[in-house]
Structure 1
Amino acid sequence: MQIKKSLIDNLQTFFGFDNFKGDQEAIIDSILEKNDTFVIMPTGGGKSICYQLPALMSEGTALVISPLIALMKNQVDQLRAFGGRDSIAHFLNSSLNKSEIAKVKQDVLAGETKLLYVAPESLTKQENIDFLRLLKISFVAIDEAHCISEWGHDFRPEYRKIRQVINNIGDNISLIALTATATPKVQYDIQKNLQMTNANLFKSSFNRANLYYEVRPKQNVIKEIVKYIKNNPGKSGIVYCLSRKKVEEVSNALEINGIKSLPYHAGLDAKVRAETQDKFLMEDVDVIVATIAFGMGIDKPDVRYVIHHDIPKSMEGYYQETGRAGRDGGEGVCVAFYSEKDIDKLAKFMKDKPVSEREIGTQILKEVIDYSESAVCRRKQILHYFGENFNEVGCNNMCDNCRAEKQYFAAQEPLSTVLQLIKDFGEKFDDHHIINVLMGVETAQIQAYKHHQSKYFGKGKEQGILLWKSVLRQALLDNYVLKEVDNFGLLKLNKAGENFLENPHNLRFILNREMEAAKDDDDDQAHGGTATVDAQLLQMLKDLRKKIAKQKNLPPFVVFQDPSLEEMCTHYPVTMDELKHISGVGNGKAMKFGSAFIELIKKYVEENDIDRPIDFVVKTAANKSALKVSIIQNIDRQISLEDIAASKGISYEDVLKEVESIVSSGTKLNLNYFIDEVIDDDRQDEVFDYFRSADVDSIDKALEELGTDDYNWEEIQLMRIKFMSELGN
């Protein structure tokens, strides 16, 4: 009891709390008793106090190994505020100059420093090892311990050397390893590498009940992000992107739209990154747009939303990044945008990696894809990934899948088929192989194993791939099968799967929702969005378009294309200025065709008492506008499109895309000087006549009609641009 009172007293004295959370007290007892201790606790669970308090109570200095300079600075600042003196905590890393390092060492040797934070890279330097040997080390804390494992989302080779260095510093030094994300595989890796397999293990539930999870198809993504942030004024948020370039682009777009935001990535100067972090903590900026370099260990309790512009590389990364929302137990919204294009990009990144690393990366990425495409409770899937069973009733509709209308199917027969197939094939294949067999897809692997000759080949073609993906996902989540992620993702039957084969029974599974195909990721080109289209108004606008097209002897798509009409049905523009901001309209088309459309929409809104959404006009970055202006000027000077592309450092295809965007928005361009060089007059006339009578402006349809032997994609695209420019603008 004396120890307990002492712990509570010290908790109150140092941190101002009256009670411990969860396992904190038992963890601290374990450390004070010099036991190796392994803590798996979700972000916001209070991991830091688990080693900070015993360090303050112990004789000597606790060594804290931490992967990020930003994390160290944040925690040292907090400890100094709690402890009342600067010497109580220090960090030793590459951001310090010689005199600052000398001051740190002086304070530590004088016994004034209770916690010394060290980067793993600094830890391995001989001069630092020699210095640490002079100290009385109370214990070593390894924060973000998942960095040790190649199966972790943020593998750091330097972490693999920590045990060796600790052995060089002294004997019988106790360890505490802490992480917010550890699958059973990563947990084993950490304990094995740190030689602490007998450590006291404390594993908290990974459920963060206050977080709302949602995955959206990646359409008009920057516009959607701007709309979300504008709808949540004054709230702190983080937007994660996979590349530095995208971070800069998104941050720039937010700034242009009046949102206080800053970019954060490893390419920025360390001083700039530190200032950015401080501004976020001090609420001088509302939003940080960042790569995954930001946020690890950032103790800001009131981050209200975390948005993933790009789907993350791993479930561990996703869990940890979303875990930065709502750490105070309040609102925390987690929105991720998903597209197959992003997955293709991530897969390409892995192509040049060693085979073993590529195989690991592929298995980890598969989990992200399954999570994004599944219609099952998001929370159930996240917790299952970390080895925790969860009943989706406990989600309380705190994910988009639980809120959505579900489509169920009778699963007894398909589940029996899948389980029997896995068993008959010797439990040696992954889900992709199983689905390919059922769908009758003859891959090289299927031929090698002669599975195209098996009774299962093509058996599930009629039911469709969505059903089989749904069966396998839910068989995994409900523990009928086990996926050996560290062994090529091979599927094996669990006890429940064996039992089901012996005693099958009626059950229902949820059918995956088909993710809408993401449109072009160029936000300047993208149309539509996630809002529901007003079908009645859309039909009225199409009828009006048809009428105007007939009067002017034009195909309807020349007036306005379908995506522009659809956007009008979600934003209800009632002024010329609002109409100009609809994708694919622009000033020229608005002036030429817009009046009748505005009048119709205005009347419709009044008659149907439509509550118009606050229209967020997402302004585009100046450099994009500058690019368009430059292209127009170069075309006026009759510069070839290839030369324009070369001078701007972009591809010829990108120039064509920009030219098409300019023309679609109502600006007239004369490309005859270029087109006449590549397409003769008779062929030009033939394509022109085709578009004049066509119902749609599809290049594929044109090629089908005109013949791929006579025309190629680029020629049809050029002629479509000419047609739209001459007749529509």
Structure 2
Amino acid sequence: MAINKLEVLEKYFGYKSFRRGQEKIIDEILNGRDVLAIMPTGGGKSLCYQVPALILDGITIVISPLISLMKDQVDTLNLMGINSAFLNSSLSTYEFNEVINGIVNNKYKIIYVAPERLHSNEFITVITQAKISQLAIDEAHCVSQWGHDFRVSYKGISTFIDKLIERPIITSFTATASEEVRRDIINLLKLNDPKIFITGFDRENLRINIVKGVDKRKFVLNYIKNNLRDSGIIYAATRREVDSIYELLKKNNINVGRYHAGLSNDERIKYQEQFINDETSVIVATNAFGMGIDKPNIRYVLHYNMPKNIEGYYQEIGRAGRDGEESECIMLFSPADVITQKYLIEVSTEDPIRKTNQYKKLQQMTGLVYINNCYRKYILEYFGDSYEGECGNCSNCLSKGEVKDRTIDAQKVISCVYKMKKSFGVGMIVDVLRGSKNKKLLNLGFDELSTYGIMKNYSSDGLKEFTNILIAHGYLDVNEEFGTVALNNISFKVIKDEVKVLLKEVNIESNKVEFNDLFEKLRLLRQEIAQEEKKAPYMIFGDGTLREMSIKYPTTKVEILEISGVGEIKYERYGEKFISIIKEYIIENNIKKEIVIENVSQETEENLEREDDYFEINTNEELLERLINIRQGFANKLNLPVSMVLSKNTLKEISGRYPNNLEMLKDIAGIGPKKIEAYGDKIVEEVDKYIIEKSINPIWKEKKRKKLIIDGETRSVSEIALDRMNMGEEIEAISEDMEISISTILGYVTDYIKSTGDYSISVDIDRYFDKDNEKMILDAINKNEIDKIQAIKKSLPDYIKYEAIRAVILKNFILKN
């Protein structure tokens, strides 16, 4: 009997019904149709491809640029009993091969893949032999150069699809996409007559507040002190501001983390994990933080500065309230924010078209700040989503201020723009209206205009804000790049009294959700389980699930399975523990329920001890040295680099595990059948000889699929190399010691910058290529795809090395950004 989509939803995900738009999208996918779905951040995009993945016959590949999201999604899916894996730059060679073997053996139902990994020869070889039911592309806007987060690697997706023997259903998902970006997604991903869904961008549970003219540091400190129990993100435009806010909160004994590209990789990982695991409640960050953070119980997002575009702003506030609970989004604005963003645009690109586009988006963002009507309506209409009336859940709608007729003041400003004839910025217009003695103003003869000084009773900041409000409401136009103000059709209607300018004062209000004591007890239990299982708390149960438990007091399996977010799988793992706390709370507080609580023993049989996920060994340095000498002998005989014989990590593992026969050697990473045939006898002979010499009695244990930890080192090869670079070591020394090529290390640097946006790693790349050959390499890159290093190398003379190609890519395409 075929499995039903609602059965899948309830059994694995613990939900009784779909959110708005999900079911229709899932139905189209199950009917075999390509799909483009634009859904708000936190709107449940992942469920739209995960549910079909479990019903369709075959593997679902999910392409995502977000390394941290991949790990979280895969951990969550595996926790629910859905076999899943990911392939990205964070995996070691051994881990990569483990996943590849799993694909060969049909182990997985869902595989997350970074776009850069799509063209790996090993991956292509096995995936073209597998049955692929669905190819889901997350963050699909990244394929378009007009998207706010364009990624070159996304250009290779259609090429990957062409390589597949049988074309699967292609599904694409994004939270923010203009019409132009939507067209790019369809064309560049070669979607076949896709069904397009725009489920609506509205996140009704988010309260949007924009606060102007306040002491930002004081506001932040007071707000955090009043919301210490809640998880929240504070975004700032620059690293310096992040550090300043972090120090302010830390000085006031607030447990806070921070995240920006100037910190070491270890620091960023530490702060991110502490935040995800609810060990710190607040993190201060640049916009580099948050992509791929699937933490559902973020109760507020506070922007210390205005972001550069509405797409980025809406994506960032979308990280609040992903569990559907009421959450708050506050932006603190000052005019200096516009200057900061203009500077960032100037240094970010030299492409005049992209620069003009970014200035246009900045002006639209500024328009949101100054709009006097519903903020939600403005945002949704920006995305092409119609919205009737007002939301009643933003600071403009909630303002108690009265609506005032500002038509006369608006006419004064518009008349001044008209009489100045040429286009000038807001600053010059304000100077004329206030009667400034500005030298440039006097030289232009603007002191002779009838509008000179007619609004001298306004403060400079107040009049600038009023003029910007007129621009935001469309009473005036502005050239986005140059910031010059111009008249439009509505301007003339205001002058002729055909249109009234009605504006309202704005005050901020707060609306906090209160939780009872039982919620706190359940949250503590969740924290204990999360620490024990080394998982993020939200992977156990979300805040919304705990809140529902704290209200409904479920004390039986039937009752707790009625709670949203509790499915059969999670009940089996955690249900009785939470029921036990709820029963205890009911008795202690004399709470009466209609259903009788059965006094059953809380003692249950302990589950069989779970096998450890890790296999730890320590290197025997003396035996390692002997094995290195043996390897050198083979390398000399075969005229090969030593690393091509056996890697140093393979030798370390042998030295720490003492395999003294060929069967045992099969359980060692990095030495397959051919290498065992070539080198195995000599190696086990040396190991056996050492055991006898030293009178060692080793106990052999099978490692099987466990992750190998050598000498307590849990970092991947790429992490170790990058950390050593951060410590100031030369690439050549790292290359020699770790037995990896300079080209590989430069590849690690490239992948790291592309995935994190962190440009702090210092590398002198000019020394790896001849300046005379740079143009030749660039021509080869342009003729091929930037990620196809082998193809680029083949099109160049033999004397040009891989490291030269990597260095030119870094200089011209990565570090240039």
TM class, shorter-chain normalised?
A: 0.5 to 0.7
For residue 194 of structure 1, what is the aligned residue in structure 2? 189
Shift of 1:230: 0.9
For residue 674 of structure 2, what is the aligned residue in structure 1? none
Q: Distance in 2 between matches of 1:493 and 1:376?
A: 20
Matches within 5 A, 1:364-513: 364-396=361-393, 398-400=394-396, 402-409=398-405, 469-475=468-474, 507-510=500-503
Residues 234 and 465 of structure 1, relative CA distance in 2, 3 Å threshold: closer
For residue 48 of structure 2, what is the aligned residue in structure 1? 50
For residue 135 of structure 1, what is the aligned residue in structure 2? 130
For residue 279 of structure 1, what is the aligned residue in structure 2? 274
For residue 115 of structure 1, what is the aligned residue in structure 2? 110
Q: Distance in 2 between matches of 1:433 and 1:185?
A: 33
Choose from 307, 317, 334 the match for 2:329: 334
SS in 1 for 2:4: helix
Q: Distance in 1 between matches of 2:135 and 2:400?
A: 47
Residues 40 and 318 of structure 1, relative CA distance in 2, 3 Å threshold: same
Q: Distance in 1 between matches of 2:450 and 2:168?
A: 58
Residues 158 and 225 of structure 1, relative CA distance in 2, 3 Å threshold: same
Worse overlay, 165-174 or 220-229: 165-174
Contact 2:370 2:469 in 1 (8 A): no
Q: Distance in 1 between matches of 2:51 and 2:484?
A: 41
Q: Distance in 2 between matches of 1:256 and 1:499?
A: 54
Q: Cα deviations across residues 437-475 of structure 1 (Å, max 9, x unaligned)?
A: 99899xxxxxxxxxx9xx999999899665554344324
Q: Distance in 2 between matches of 1:482 and 1:20?
A: 43
Choose from 40, 44, 52 the match for 2:38: 40
Q: Distance in 1 between matches of 2:229 and 2:25?
A: 37
Q: Output the amino acid matched with 2:469.
A: S
Q: Distance in 2 between matches of 1:489 and 1:172?
A: 51
Residues 388 and 418 of structure 1, relative CA distance in 2, 3 Å threshold: farther
Shift of 1:384: 2.0
Residues 172 and 264 of structure 1, relative CA distance in 2, 3 Å threshold: same
Shift of 1:412: 10
Q: Distance in 2 between matches of 1:417 and 1:346?
A: 26
Worse overlay, 322-331 or 23-32: 322-331
SS in 2 for 1:393: coil
Q: Output the amino acid matched with 2:196.
A: L
Contact 1:379 1:392 in 2 (8 A): no
For residue 223 of structure 1, what is the aligned residue in structure 2? 218
Matches within 5 A, 1:327-726: 327-352=322-347, 353-354=349-350, 355-396=352-393, 398-400=394-396, 402-409=398-405, 469-475=468-474, 507-510=500-503
For residue 734 of structure 2, what is the aligned residue in structure 1? none
Matches within 5 A, 1:44-123: 44-82=42-80, 84=81, 88-123=83-118
Contact 1:247 1:290 in 2 (8 A): yes
Contact 1:431 1:491 in 2 (8 A): no
Q: Distance in 2 between matches of 1:336 and 1:371?
A: 11
For residue 589 of structure 2, what is the aligned residue in structure 1? none
Q: Distance in 2 between matches of 1:189 and 1:489?
A: 31
Worse overlay, 407-416 or 464-473: 407-416
Contact 2:103 2:127 in 1 (8 A): no
Choose from 17, 24, 31 the match for 2:15: 17
Contact 2:366 2:472 in 1 (8 A): no
Q: Distance in 1 between matches of 2:183 and 2:424?
A: 23
Choose from 24, 29, 32 the match for 1:31: 29
SS in 2 for 1:350: helix
Matches within 5 A, 1:194-273: 194-196=189-191, 198-217=193-212, 219-268=214-263, 270=265, 272-273=267-268
Q: Distance in 2 between matches of 1:253 and 1:31?
A: 50
Contact 2:298 2:327 in 1 (8 A): yes
SS in 1 for 2:312: helix
SS in 2 for 1:64: strand
Q: Distance in 1 between matches of 2:478 and 2:110?
A: 41
Contact 1:412 1:504 in 2 (8 A): no
Q: Distance in 1 between matches of 2:236 and 2:403?
A: 32
Q: Cα deviations across residues 147-169 of structure 1 (Å, max 9, x unaligned)?
A: 22333332222223322332234
Q: Distance in 2 between matches of 1:160 and 1:490?
A: 38
Unaligned runs of 5+ in 2: 437-445, 509-817
Choose from 322, 328, 340 the match for 2:317: 322
Unaligned runs of 5+ in 1: 442-451, 516-729
Residues 489 and 207 of structure 1, relative CA distance in 2, 3 Å threshold: farther
Contact 1:64 1:116 in 2 (8 A): yes
Q: Output the amino acid matched with 1:306.
A: V
Q: Output the amino acid matched with 1:22.
A: R
Shift of 1:326: 1.8
SS in 2 for 1:312: coil
Residues 197 and 105 of structure 1, relative CA distance in 2, 3 Å threshold: closer
SS in 1 for 2:390: helix
Residues 44 and 30 of structure 1, relative CA distance in 2, 3 Å threshold: same
Residues 117 and 268 of structure 1, relative CA distance in 2, 3 Å threshold: farther
SS in 2 for 1:510: strand
For residue 7 of structure 1, what is the aligned residue in structure 2? 5
